[in-house]
Amino acid sequence: KVNMVRIVPDWLMNAELSIKQEYLSAFQGGDGSRFAYQKNGNTFKPNLGITFQTTHNNYLEATIIYMNQIRNF
């Protein structure tokens, strides 16, 4: 999977928060990490393990864009 362009589809970028949460949970869970959050009154504290992607140099810029898409959820 290091030789491919990754993108987050528009429908997911525009999805409601609960759908994005499920995507992040599956994304992190696929590598053995987990997405969790703590609720304190009316505030939430999300916790996401260290996230990284391995890619070939030819796909580095596209992978950075992909990771920034995820970060901007």
Q: Read off the pLDDT of residues 6-61 as tens digits, 9 standing for 90 and up.
A: 999 999 999 999 999 899 888 877 776 777 788 889 998 887 667 788 999 999 99
Q: What is the Cα–Cα distance from 23 to 35, expressed in whole angstroms?
A: 10
Q: Which two tokens stand for residue 7?
A: 């993108």
Tokens 């499920």 found at: 22
3-state secondary structure of 1: coil
Say what the pLDDT of residue 36 is: 78
What pLDDT does residue 26 have? 85
6 closest CA partner among 71, 73, 72, 69: 69
pLDDT score for 53: 87
pLDDT given for residue 66 in this prediction: 94
Helix (H) or strand (E) holding 3: none
Position of tokens 């990490």?
33
